[in-house]
Structure 1
Amino acid sequence: MKKLLLTLLAAMCAAAGATGADRAPEIISVNTDRVSLILCVERDGRVHMRHFGGRIDDAAPLAAYSTHRRPDHGAGEEIYPAMGGRNFRLPALRATHADGDLNTELRYVSHETLPSADADVERTVVRLADPVRPLEVELLFTAYRRENVIATRSRITNRQQGPVTLHAFYSSALSLHGYGSYLLTQLRGGWADEAQIEHLPLGHGTHSISTRKLVKATHSENPAFMLSLDTDRFDEEHGEVIAGALAWSGNYRIDFSVDEYDVLTILAGANPDASEYVLDAGRTLTTPEMIYTFSDCGAGGASRNLHDWARRYGIRGGDRGHVPTLLNSWEGAYFDFDEATLRGMIDDAAAMGLEMFVLDDGWFGNKYPRNHDRAGLGDWEVNRAKLPGGIDRIASYAHRQGLKFGIWIEPEMVNPQSELAERHPEWVVRAEGREAPLIRHQWLLDLSNPEVQDFVFGVFDHTLALSKKIDYIKWDANRHAESVGSAYLPADRQSNFWVDYAEGLYRVMERIRAKYPDVLIQACSSGGGRVDYGALKYFDEVWTSDDTEALSRSRIQYGTSLFYPAAVMGAHVSASPNHQSGNVIPLKFRFDMASAGRLGMELQPRQMSDSERAFARRAIASYKEFRDLVEEGDLYRIGSPYDPSGTFGTLYVSKDKRRAVFLAYCIRYRGHTPVPQFRLRGLDDETRYTVRELNVDRPRCWFDGETLTGAYLRHEGINPPLQRLYDSAVYILEAE
């Protein structure tokens, strides 16, 4: 049988000319309206990457392109470099074959353009195979023409008689040449300090963005980046920029390696570190999708490309319509509430013009009541002492007050002090014979196990059955994975856990979305721990950070906006002094900052003064005027919270450029002399815009109520008197 498979594979390669020395080089082009990814099939069957960047319509000259690379410096820029032959680079694919062979050399078999029902989308598949060992790789490229995004992933199939161990199995390899320098922009941080911007010039050698946490995987780093080309500075408006984001909710790694020829190779995919994947005979592993875009008008252009793609293709409910403003119970009540407390919060939310109430943690558990975070997690039954009328009574009350209703769950986790842990200790992620470490007094459930997948789906299903009036689920996940072990996986497949857990989560979400397509779901994960395009295929929004303080949010929301649209960024107005930082911040600044995302509130309204409630009503009503711009408009970052000036702004412009909203902030004292000058890019030069400030009793600026041309606003701009810490303003611009 093995000889037959090898014979068939060799015949396929020969028929396609993949190994023929007389084969003429062939060009494969993947194009959007403004971007090209160009490959060349060489005479020996290797497939090299020749270009990623601005669109090239006539790519034929690249068939004769030479890198002048010496043979003793390794192979050229293969589109999916494998460990074997002359490849000295980090491999996209490293495998131990069933017979122990450590080498893989991929050669071209065929390629084709696949049919698509969407005229905006073109799919190309390039098939490769090892001519000696029956291991096949398909590279799948999806081009989104209008959005100028190209997504790529790999599909690895084992045709051998025994298992193949995959030590590295990246989604994509992208090689860039001809640039003198590369400036990497990445996100770093930690819990309540997510999405902080870091710029790093790339020198020779390898730099990685990675995590091994599995859950809460995007707190410290995010699987997304920008590369500014041929420059040492980050620029919103000018220059060539490549942006990438990995759609994966597990361990990831993105490697940036610059070799002696100054070629930068980017490998992106699931993290291979201690995660060898054993692929059985006849099985296929499909890797996560890697999303790329190119902009020749700076970082702002790259962000807008990603945002357009995300709203149409990358996020759940991107075309759903407006998301309700909400009051979340957590920072207003924590675990200490009863029906009267919740009814009071619902009444206040309705009076302020909010559209939804969300009941957070603490509503479940009877034998082990959820009165703190040390017990009850896993026992998803309504706490009869707190809510004797059940969830339906409180959800129905919210609906009678004109509000939608949401509820919190954390189905992937369990407290040791719970009935679930007593019934199913084998469901807990732990290495046999070792203690399972606790984080936030809880353990992780083993989602590689189909029984656990059924349970997690059942938690969601059972929760929705508590009331027909549940419109929204807040899905939390408050610990990462460590000291892992699976009672379900065989001893020789334990390292498969890292991939199988994430795939298990996705299988659960597929079932949930098949049954509940219209329920809004937020990915929380201790705040910003699951901010990735893998999760956003199933979740409508992310909780951007557990830090609700508006000053901290200035950087968190700015960093997140590089890759993810405001339409997914949950942003709440919370109490003052803030519960995380202790800072005392004016209510207007808190509203103006939260209004740059999906506006909500997270406090006890009864602790607000009458004047604060009145302002909240006004600010919520104003937000409803322009939230379509925040959710659907083009984003222009005007300055940055990192600027020494201490002032910056966020501009959202409608697609037809007839309306815009500009939110401006001062985050340090500037004295009495300097006044910021904000030049507003993105408007139409010939259109005349009337500028109107919101949420103030009288005009504060000379231009309030004036009608100015887009050219004036772009070249000269506006100069609001934002000079003191926590000064802020919101301006609506409307075409005549």
Structure 2
Amino acid sequence: MGIIYCEKDRTFTLQTKETTYQMQVDQYGFLLHLYYGKKAEGCMDYLLTYYDRGFSGNPYDAGTDRTYSMDALPQELSCYGNGDFRSASLMLENGDGSMSCDMRYKSYTIRDGKYSLPGLPAVYADNDEAQTLEIVLEDPATGVEAMLLYGVLPELDIITRSVYVRNQSSEKIYVNKVMSAELDFLYGDYDLLTFYGRHAMERNLQRVPVAHGSQMIGSVRGTSSHQYNPMMILAEKDTTEDHGGCYAMSFVYSGNFQGEVLKDQYNQTRMLLGVQEECFRYPLEAGETFYAPEVILSYTDQGMNRLSQNLHSCIRHHICRGKYKTEVRPVLVNSWEAAYFDFTGETLYNLAKEARSLGIDMLVLDDGWFGKRDDDNSGLGDWYVNEKKLGETLGGLVKRVNDLGVKFGIWIEPEMISEDSDLYREHPDWALTIPGRKPVRSRNQLVLDFSRKEVVDGIFGQISAVLDNANIEYVKWDMNRSLMDVFSVMTKDQGRVMYDYVLGLYDFLDRMVNRYPDLLIEGCSGGGGRFDAGMLYYTPQIWCSDNSDAIDRLRIQYGTSFGYPVSAMGAHVSAVPNHQTGRITPLHTRGVVAMSGTFGYELDLLKLTEEEKDEVRSQIGEFRKYAPLIQNGRYYRLTDPFKSEVCAWEIVGNSQEEVLLNVVMEEIHGNMTVNYVQLRGLDESALYKDQTTGRIYSGAALMHGGMPLPAEFGEYRAYQYHFVRE
């Protein structure tokens, strides 16, 4: 199928539809990386060269051969302490305190299907869709093993990678660093694409040349973070959206991470992605195993649009699970920007009535429904309904709303605790704090120690009691601060707490998914602070950003699209002036931007004019018409909103039968010049009919001639063109 072992050359070759990945066990038992790129045949070990490299050590096995050095050879799992002075994938602290490991080949297994990881999210696939390669390496001096896992999904041009570390020695050891994936390139001049940001302005694209030394991104915040996304791209210099070679790494993990690209003294490039080594020192007693999270790899020589589509397809069909994996999501209105903390059951019921009249499917009750919670200074951890504030039970309110024909959802923040809460007064030790030190507050709240099972059990019991007593069909899971004061009273090895915290989070989410299989969960961390493939395994959509300004969202959603599908992006129409920027944009424009996401509303419907209500009804009708295409089609970036006065993107049906072209004018000038947008991904020989004007165009004309855009007065105008093949 996709994995071939050649005994003669001792090579492992992973073949996908359009790519080849090859490695070799050499004469000393080192597992060397030979090639990853466009599909190729034959043994590629001729690419390796051997010279006497000054100050590059030689393994003892090589005897007097000074031409053999791990400091210059491409590897699958580089180790600290075996002569490679570059950033390593694996760093172990042995029972005697030494910092060294030297992993050599021991055995392999090939089997149908895709491996899974205990307690961790991972790509899944049927036995006829994927194969797994397991390669066991061993340190002869200690007996410690590293098992490399490769999952191959040939039709998607996807390869996944993970690592187990097994302590087969007789003493306790520490894993001080483990990178889940490593790519070594013998040559090449590359650019590195990363996605930086801040709260309310996430995933801005940065493209910089790979220079000598290390370029690093990462997070020590306990989440994947607003500041850097755990996905990066290595691209050849001339690579564009539609042409050129590029590689992607995407981390299936939601906690601290580290991504690094370095160019060494010999102009070789190494790309690494895994758990953040800072504040990480994971103990392994004799016989114990550490499981590293998974990385998704993909390569194409057809540009970054194709690379993104590979990742989109993998995440949409092999990461996301459950009822809403491919199903169109309900159109919802969230109460936050409509009411903030100021609501009653009756005001919510009136909002639901208005929602029903406009064709909205669901009302979501945001923060403030529980405990003593009239602002963000108290109540977190007390997950019981504030019936005095609602004026009724939550179950009663939900039933009244359901009787209108409107679904109901709620907001929760299970990982947090307020010092002013019943839970904190009863269990102050459940919060992450360092004995003898005052904690660092953020948003006036602390973080619960989810590395402890009893804490996860306690909060899960509270949340499930709420969900069991009302017909809740949607949950927005929020997380509104970074981790600090990371100390658990339950362990002496504090270097494991950050990692175990994420395992506790995944355990909680897995219980929710299994107990409530029809529940739609939306991930959130101050918007896009935990937007990663790991969360999407449990929550098929994530609130893309707390910034709902349509023009800022063009850039946020553009950057997000490099690694994640439209179906994963929580996007809503909000009020103007926008609550984050003060900007005023047309309602139509806000709708067009939000449609390239899960689509919904974040405003007070009762304050809309009759004209605006008619436009909302029209928007919802348009969205329902386009939703299957938006959810499952192929996404193309047509312009760069950071550089162009036009932001244009396109979604094409998988059989090229229809296309939705979306355009927003970011700038307007006097005596405006005409902009032309060239479409992508159509059948050049087919004819396409504009569903608004009735005009017919050839696919070749739309792709190579393009569409002229109106030069109209007015800021931030938006246009949608829907073409269907004749």
Which TM-score tier does this pair reach, normalised by the shorter chain? over 0.9
**1:725 Cα deviation (Å)?**
2.6
**1:461 Cα deviation (Å)?**
1.2
Structure 1 residues 647, 143: closer, same or farther in 2, change over 3 A? same
Contact 1:185 1:197 in 2 (8 A): yes
Tell me the equivalent position of 2:347: 341
Matched, 1:721 2:710: yes
CA distance in 2, matches of 1:668, 1:485: 50
Tell me the equivalent position of 1:446: 449
- Residue type at the aligned position of 1:193: M
Of the candidates 465, 471, 474, which is equivalent to residue 473 of structure 2? Answer: 471
Contact 1:687 1:735 in 2 (8 A): yes
Tell me the equivalent position of 2:667: 668
**1:731 Cα deviation (Å)?**
1.3
Tell me the equivalent position of 2:524: 524
Q: Deviations over 1:471-526 (max 9, x none)?
A: 11000000111121111222xx1111111111111122222222122210011111
Tell me the equivalent position of 1:351: 357
5+ residue gaps, structure 2, are 1-6, 57-68, 114-125
Matched, 1:219 2:226: yes
Contact 1:596 1:650 in 2 (8 A): no
Q: Percent identity?
A: 32
User: Does the residue aligned with 1:386 lie in a helix, a strand or coil?
Assistant: helix
Tell me the equivalent position of 1:19: none
Tell me the equivalent position of 1:461: 464
User: Does the residue aligned with 2:676 lie in a helix, a strand or coil?
Assistant: coil
Tell me the equivalent position of 1:658: 657
Tell me the equivalent position of 1:119: 128
User: Does the residue aligned with 2:198 lie in a helix, a strand or coil?
Assistant: coil
CA distance in 1, matches of 2:397, 2:111: 51
Using the TM superposition, name which of 133-142 and 29-38 deviates more: 29-38
Tell me the equivalent position of 1:169: 178
Of the candidates 369, 372, 375, which is equivalent to residue 375 of structure 2? Answer: 372
User: Does the residue aligned with 1:680 lie in a helix, a strand or coil?
Assistant: coil
TM-score using structure 2 length: 0.93
Structure 1 residues 557, 67: closer, same or farther in 2, change over 3 A? same
User: Does the residue aligned with 1:397 lie in a helix, a strand or coil?
Assistant: helix
Using the TM superposition, name which of 82-91 and 424-433 deviates more: 82-91
**1:456 Cα deviation (Å)?**
2.9
Count residues in correspondence: 691
- Residue type at the aligned position of 1:709: S
Tell me the equivalent position of 2:725: 735
User: Does the residue aligned with 1:257 lie in a helix, a strand or coil?
Assistant: strand
CA distance in 2, matches of 1:513, 1:722: 49
**1:64 Cα deviation (Å)?**
4.0
- Residue type at the aligned position of 1:142: G
User: Does the residue aligned with 1:505 lie in a helix, a strand or coil?
Assistant: helix
Of the candidates 420, 424, 428, which is equivalent to residue 427 of structure 2? Answer: 424
CA distance in 2, matches of 1:384, 1:682: 54
Question: What are the equivalent positions in structure 2 for 1:545-564 lying under 5 Å apart?
Answer: 545-564=545-564
TM-score using structure 1 length: 0.92
Contact 2:190 2:235 in 1 (8 A): yes
Q: Deviations over 1:123-146 (max 9, x none)?
A: 111110011111000000001111
Tell me the equivalent position of 2:144: 135
**1:419 Cα deviation (Å)?**
0.2
CA distance in 2, matches of 1:30, 1:536: 26
- Residue type at the aligned position of 1:98: G
Q: Deviations over 1:553-609 (max 9, x none)?
A: 010010001100000101111111111111111111111111111101000011111
Of the candidates 268, 280, 286, which is equivalent to residue 263 of structure 1? Answer: 268
Contact 1:359 1:407 in 2 (8 A): yes
**1:86 Cα deviation (Å)?**
1.4
Tell me the equivalent position of 1:632: 632
Contact 1:139 1:153 in 2 (8 A): yes
Contact 2:554 2:647 in 1 (8 A): no
Q: Deviations over 1:535-555 (max 9, x none)?
A: 111112100000011111010
Tell me the equivalent position of 2:123: none
Let me know the Cα RMSD of the aligned residues.
1.4
Contact 1:47 1:108 in 2 (8 A): yes
5+ residue gaps, structure 1, are 1-22, 694-703
**1:274 Cα deviation (Å)?**
2.2
CA distance in 2, matches of 1:444, 1:706: 58
Question: What are the equivalent positions in structure 2 for 1:142-541 lying under 5 Å apart?
Answer: 142-179=151-188, 181-215=189-223, 217-231=224-238, 235-317=240-322, 319-365=325-371, 369-467=372-470, 469-490=471-492, 493-541=493-541
CA distance in 2, matches of 1:337, 1:600: 20
Question: What are the equivalent positions in structure 2 for 1:690-705 lying under 5 Å apart?
Answer: 690-693=689-692, 704-705=693-694
CA distance in 2, matches of 1:722, 1:356: 38
Tell me the equivalent position of 1:79: 76
Q: Deviations over 1:347-402 (max 9, x none)?
A: 1111111111111000011xxx2100001111111112222321112211222222
Matched, 1:92 2:89: yes
User: Does the residue aligned with 2:28 lie in a helix, a strand or coil?
Assistant: coil
CA distance in 2, matches of 1:330, 1:543: 13
CA distance in 2, matches of 1:527, 1:268: 24
**1:120 Cα deviation (Å)?**
1.7
Tell me the equivalent position of 1:711: 700
Contact 1:26 1:63 in 2 (8 A): no
CA distance in 2, matches of 1:526, 1:59: 50
Matched, 1:67 2:74: no
User: Does the residue aligned with 2:127 lie in a helix, a strand or coil?
Assistant: coil
